Every structure is written in structure tokens, then in C-alpha cells.
Structure 1
Amino acid sequence: MSQLMEFAGNHPFMVVLFLVVLFLFLNSLYKEKSKAYQNVNVDQLTRLVNHKNAQVIDVRPKEAFDQGHIVNAINMPLDDITAGKAKIDKLKKKPVIVYCQVGKSSLKASQHLSDAGFEQVFNLQGGINSWLNDKLPLSKA
């Protein structure tokens, strides 16, 4: 212990630098754990739908949704979710997976749903583009 104190006394800059790095590391861990939603990939999405009966929500505009969407997805544009216009309270206890075109808008929707009390919220990383990159089919019905 005395060697540690001697080191700290001889190298205060290194000790301060170490404490700053430690703080930043712990802060990033806390932020990651405190997120109320999880990011998932395409494989995890299909497992959630098949094994946990998760509901898939497309937050893109209706025109984009009509061009093609993941099978059995429901369309709820981001503006409707954030404005509280979407009637989705019945899904609060059910796992929901949110996606958009590239995964940015769905992050906002995921956070909003988590803040609104949804228990299991998942965000599709890469959005529908990742779905298409895996050469998976879209529904137009």
C-alpha cells in the first residue's frame, strides 16, 4: 500500500489520467445497461417472432411500408408514436421489435416506447436494409 501511495505521489498526472479513463469506462457501461431497449440483428428478430410471438412495428412512412415490409409487421410512423397517436397500449406486455429503413428512426421509437412503459422493446440494427442484405422476403399485402 505504501508503494501505491509513493507511486501516486511521484506520478500525479498518471493517477489523474487513470481515474478519468476509469470514470469514462464505468459511465459507458452504465449507459449501456440503463438502455431500456436492446438492439437485435435479423437472426434474433426471427427467433423473437417465432419463439416469443413478438410484434414487429415498421416506423417508416406509409408509402415506404406499402412498397414492402417484413411479414406481419404493422405500420406506425415515428411521428404517430412520438405524438401519442398510435394506439398500441395492448402491446405493452408483449415483445415488440421496431425497425425503419436504416435503424436510426427506430432508435427514437424504441426509446419512446420504453419510456412509455413497454417491457420488452427491441430495435432492428440496420433496419430493413439489413433484412434485405440477408436476402429475406418482403410482404406487400
Structure 2
Amino acid sequence: MLQQIQEFIVNHPFLWSALVIVLIALAVNEVYRLMKGHRPIPATEAVRLMNTDDAVVVDTRSAADYKKNHILNAVHVPMAGIEERAGEITKKTDRTIICYCGIGNVAPQAASKLRRKGYTHVYALKGGINAWQADGLPVTRK
């Protein structure tokens, strides 16, 4: 097995180099996110912040998805207008904000944009509303 790996490395240096570069980029990205506090939070942590810090929950999905279901008391601000409509979320830049989307891939971008606008305690929900529902947490249509 080790001999086959060595043979692959020798015969395919560009593929091997590409793999190493991708792995290094992933590692650097993860370290950066951990150092900056941009790690998405699980649903249990979001519930804790909602209960203890009176966090504002922001739904970044489309209006149609928001109408189907959303987290109770969530403010609907689609990703496309997050920077322009940041003032609708909260005027206090030190208030805790939790952004979520469908599967957790858009909310970190929204959180990052809000941080650039000066909001200091902004988090993204890991796995989005799908993870929220998978954990058995409630949603509403109202």
C-alpha cells in the first residue's frame, strides 16, 4: 500500500501538489474562522443565546421560504439586502444576532457582512433551519 502511494506521488506530481494545496487552504480557512470567532453555532447554542442574551434571529432566505416556515420571532431580511437593511434588525451594534438560512451555507456570509457593518456579536446557525428542525426545535408560519 505504501509503495502504491509513493508510486502515485512520483507519477502524478501535479495531482499530488493540488491535493496538498487544497488541504493547506482548508486548514488555513478553519484556523482563520476559529481565531475570528466565525464558527457557526449549533442550534442548542442558538437557543441559549436567544434565552439568555435576548438574541435577534434573522432569516436570510427568500420571502417564499420565510412564509413556509421560520423560527419564532425571526426578522426576515433576505441576504441580498442584509447590508442596506441592517438597521431594521437592531440599532444596537452590541446586541446578539443569529443569522440562519436553509442549510447553513448563506448565513455565515450574512453574519460576516453584519460584522463589517459594526455589529459585534453576530453568529450563523450551523446547518440552517434544516438542522434546527432536525433537532426537533419549533418553527412557525405566523
TM-score range, shorter chain: 0.7 to 0.9
Cα distance between partner residues in 2 of 1:48 and 1:116: 21
% identical aligned pairs: 29
Measured against aligned partners, the alpha-carbon deviations of 1:70-111 in whole angstroms (never above 9, x if no partner) come to: 0111100000114x2443351421000000000111011011
Query: 1:130 and 1:27, CA in 2 relative to 1: closer, same or farther beyond 3 A?
Result: closer
Q: Which residue pairs with 1:81 in the alignment?
A: 82
> Which position in structure 2 is the counterpart of 1:54?
55
Contact in 2 for aligned 1:97/1:123 (Cα 8 Å): yes
Q: How does 1:1-141 map to 2 (within 5 A)?
A: 27=28, 30-82=31-83, 84-87=84-87, 88=89, 90-141=91-142
Is the radius of gyration larger for structure 1 or structure 2?
Answer: 1
Tell me, yes or no, if the aligned pair for 2:40 and 2:124 is still in contact at 8 Å: yes
Give the number of equivalent residue pairs: 119
Give the unaligned 5+ runs of structure 1.
1-23
TM-score (norm 1): 0.74
How far apart are 1:35 and its partner, in Å? 2.5
After the TM superposition, which parts of structure 1 deviate over 2 Å for at least 4 consecutive aligned residues? 24-30, 32-38, 85-89
Aligned amino acid, residue 118 of structure 1: Y
What 5-or-longer segments of structure 2 have no aligned partner?
1-23
